[in-house]
Amino acid sequence: MQTNCAIELKNIRKTFGSIVANDEINLQINKGEILCLLGENGSGKTTLMNMLSGIYQPDSGEIFKDGNPVSIRSPRDAYALGIGMIHQHYHLVDVFTAAQNIILGMEDQKLDLGAVNDKVKEICDKYGFHVDPKKKIYDMSVSQKQTIEIVKVLYRGAEILILDEPTAVLTPQETDKLFAVLRNMKKDNKAIVLITHKLAEVLAVSDKVAILRKGKYIGTVNTKDATAQSLTDMMVGRAVKLNIDRPVYDNIHDKLVIKNLTVVDNEGINRLDNVTFTAKAGEILGVAGIAGSGQRELLESITGLYPIKDGSIMFVNEDGSTNELVGKTPMQIRQAGVGMGFVPEDRLGMGLVGSMGMTSNMMLRSWRNGKSIFFNKKSPESLANKVWQDLEVVTPSTEFPVRRMSGGNIQKVLVGREIASSPPVLLTAYAVRGLDINTSYAIYNLLTEQKMRGSAVMYVGEELDVLLELCDRILVLCGGKVSGIVDARKTTKEEIGLLMTTVGGHEGGEK
């Protein structure tokens, strides 16, 4: 065994009833290295790491720390061995400060806070974090909360850090900051395991990549010898086509005409400022912008979830007549034909019932549509079967409780349901967050399928490469204003990047 091996897993097996989540897995995690753990949704990544953090115990197999066999029966055992995991759902107490959360549950909790603050500051300086120990959790952004979770495990002396999809909730800028911190930890000889579905991140930050497929260990490769294509092929087990077809619909026409839309938040700040554009049937309209530029408010105002101060949102019916949506309730808007495939941070929060299976969850949506405006005439069961097939949902049946599926598979049910309901206007935000690369491409194809049946699709996304390949036009938001609307076939990343940071010549309207 190499001397820099921190943790070794041998023949680890973990089952849940008849589901084999991990099947005889062997894995080596080294000090001074960043190891990415890669695999499709439901391939067993989270389960495997939960056995290192003491949440689950393996059915069989062995774990070695520095060459010695260990047994990890609880998170406390894991901490004692220097293993710390940052989960997808944070375990922070909202009303406590950063410092209080960092020492929460530790035996020496009575430590004076001055000393705690000093130690937190020392950790932050060492690795390049910024934390205000006195700040309350409820005043923090998602990224700040994540930082607290990381500092918490470092405070407990973690030498081995496991991060489960930390970048799924971060902006590109926050991701860069996190990676700078991880690189500093690596220099400090820590062992780091990073789970992410974004191959660009894997290639940029890791030293090695370990691949799981359907619960089995496929192998570990050196990142410098890998490409997005080679990793995808290993992960999926066959050659996968990584490009997006962009057919042209032959009857593009106006569907949603938005004029001078202005919305104000409860602090009186303009979140959307005089926004004017048209979403067209038979097109995918991309929405680009730095996080927090008004993307969320735009989709929420179209669906009636955000109060509108000024402006008009016209829905154009098939016969050419129009319907003003401003002033209507979300239910009335949905009935008018606007469907929203909104993918929230809290996957179980947005209209999925965890204890029910896929079929019942489909019913929830079609039932809410009401009898007369049932967009999709299919029965909930055939909808569930379509989503199951199209997106290869990993579940033993359409009756299996959604809550017990892997994170990405829950998301597939949510997005799949929204798309499968085939509304005339389909709004999506961050639809592929947390989805493996193969499924992401399946989603792009489904959105294109909707466009080719004449739906007006809006796609809010953060990866410029995808926006450029998938969309017909791209609307760029900057500080709540439209800084440009460009032809996706002709524009460049540079042009969009510039529009994201400046409201230039074509302010506030269609070019």
Question: Phi and psi for 131 in degrees, rounded to 5?
Answer: -135, 135
Residue listed under structure tokens 């049932």: 374
CA–CA dist 359, 189 (Å, integer): 48
> Minimum CB separation from Mg ion for residue 182, in Å?
19
The footprint of ligand ATP on residues 210-249 (CB under 6 A) is: none
> Which partner from the list ligand ATP, Mg ion, none does 423 bind, CB cut-off 5 to 8 Å by kind?
none
Per CB under 6 A, does 404 bind ligand ATP? yes
Task: Please give the helix or strand (H or E) that residue 202 lies within, else none.
Answer: helix 199-205
Per CB under 6 A, does 166 bind ligand ATP? no
Q: Do 337 and 401 touch, CB atoms closer than 8 A?
A: no
Measured torsion, CA atoms of residues 249, 443, 413, 196, in degrees rounded to the nearest 10: -160
3-state secondary structure of 401: coil
Stretch that binds Mg ion, among 44-52, 154-162, 198-206, 449-457 (CB under 5 A): 44-52
Q: Do 32 and 12 touch, CB atoms closer than 8 A?
A: no
Per CB under 5 A, does 407 bind Mg ion? yes
Stretch that binds ligand ATP, among 78-86, 306-314, 405-413, 458-466 (CB under 6 A): 405-413
> Minimum CB separation from ligand ATP for residue 462, in Å?
19
> Which partner from the list ligand ATP, Mg ion, none does 21 bind, CB cut-off 5 to 8 Å by kind?
ligand ATP
- Cβ-based nearer residue to ligand ATP, 64 or 400: 400
> Minimum CB separation from Mg ion for residue 165, in Å?
7
Polymer length of the chain? 511
For the record, the structure tokens of 366 come out as 């079609």
Among positions 25, 31, 44, 143, the unique one binding ligand ATP when judged by CB under 6 A: 44
Among positions 43, 232, 301, 440, the unique one binding ligand ATP when judged by CB under 6 A: 43
- Cβ-based nearer residue to ligand ATP, 405 or 488: 405
- Cβ-based nearer residue to Mg ion, 46 or 295: 46
Per CB under 6 A, does 39 bind ligand ATP? yes
Q: Do 157 and 82 touch, CB atoms closer than 8 A?
A: yes
CA–CA dist 80, 25 (Å, integer): 24
Per CB under 6 A, does 46 bind ligand ATP? yes
For the record, the structure tokens of 427 come out as 């709004």
β-pairing, 283-288 vs 473-478, is parallel
> Which partner from the list Mg ion, ligand ATP, none does 404 bind, CB cut-off 5 to 8 Å by kind?
ligand ATP
Angle at 469 between CA 467 and CA 475, to 5 degrees: 35
Question: Phi and psi for 119 in degrees, rounded to 5?
Answer: -70, -40
Q: At 292, which amino acid appears?
A: G
Measured torsion, CA atoms of residues 267, 268, 274, 276, in degrees rounded to the nearest 10: 30
Among positions 22, 28, 30, 46, the unique one binding Mg ion when judged by CB under 5 A: 46
Q: How many CB atoms lie within 10 A of CB 67?
A: 9
How far CA 119 is from CA of 101, 155, 267, 281, in Å, comes to 14, 8, 36, 57
Among positions 211, 405, 426, 477, the unique one binding ligand ATP when judged by CB under 6 A: 405
- Cβ-based nearer residue to ligand ATP, 16 or 374: 16
Among positions 394, 447, 458, 477, the unique one binding ligand ATP when judged by CB under 6 A: 394
- Cβ-based nearer residue to Mg ion, 295 or 406: 406
Per CB under 6 A, does 408 bind ligand ATP? yes
3-state secondary structure of 391: coil
Per CB under 6 A, does 407 bind ligand ATP? yes
- Cβ-based nearer residue to ligand ATP, 279 or 413: 413
Q: Do 88 and 81 touch, CB atoms closer than 8 A?
A: no
Among positions 25, 28, 42, 85, the unique one binding ligand ATP when judged by CB under 6 A: 42
Per CB under 5 A, does 409 bind Mg ion? no
Per CB under 6 A, does 21 bind ligand ATP? yes
Chain contacts with Mg ion (rule: CB under 5 A): 46, 407
Contacts to ligand ATP by CB under 6 A: 16, 19, 21, 39, 41-47, 394, 404-409
